[in-house]
Amino acid sequence: MHPLIRLMRPHQWVKNGFVFVGLLFGHAWEQGEGTELFLQALSAFIAFCLLSSAVYVGNDLVDREQDRLHPEKCKRPLANGSVGVRAAVILAVVCLVLGLGLAWGLLAPLGLPASEAPWLFVAYLVMNVGYSAGLKHVVVLDVFIIAAGFMLRLLAGTLGIGILPSHWLLLCGLMLTLFLGFAKRRAELNALQEESGQHRRVLEHYTPAMLDQFITLAAGATVISYSLYTVSEDTIATHGTPWLIATVPCVAYGLLRYLYRLHNAGGGGDPARELFTDPHLLGVFSLWLTLVIWLLA
Residue 91 pLDDT? 92
Model confidence over 116-168: pLDDT tens digits? Answer: 888 999 999 999 999 988 888 899 999 999 999 999 999 998 888 888 888 88
Residue 268 pLDDT? 77
Q: How does residue 199 score in pLDDT terms, banded at 50, 70 and 90?
A: low
| Distance (Å, whole) CA 248 – CA 230 | 8
| Distance (Å, whole) CA 110 – CA 118 | 18
According to CATH, the topology of domain 1-165 is Tetracycline Repressor; domain 2 (1.10.357)
Are 53 and 8 in contact by the 8 Å Cβ rule? The answer is yes
Question: Is pLDDT at 194 greater than 60 in this prediction?
Answer: no
Give which of 196, 180, 153 is closest to 272, Cα–Cα: 180
Model confidence over 262-273: pLDDT tens digits? Answer: 988 777 778 888
Residue with more model confidence, 47 or 201: 47
Would the pTM count as exceeding 0.95? no
- What Rg value do the Cα atoms of the chain yield, rounded? 19
Residue 124 pLDDT? 94
Give which of 11, 1, 27 is closest to 166, Cα–Cα: 27
Are 11 and 53 in contact by the 8 Å Cβ rule? The answer is no
Q: How does residue 180 score in pLDDT terms, banded at 50, 70 and 90?
A: very high
Domain boundaries, the chain: 1-165, 166-297
Looking at the chain, the whole-number percentage of residues with pLDDT higher than 70 is 92
Looking at the chain, the whole-number percentage of residues with pLDDT higher than 90 is 46
Model confidence over 231-290: pLDDT tens digits? Answer: 999 889 888 899 999 999 999 999 999 999 998 877 777 888 888 889 999 999 999 999
Residue with more model confidence, 192 or 180: 180
Q: How does residue 32 score in pLDDT terms, banded at 50, 70 and 90?
A: low
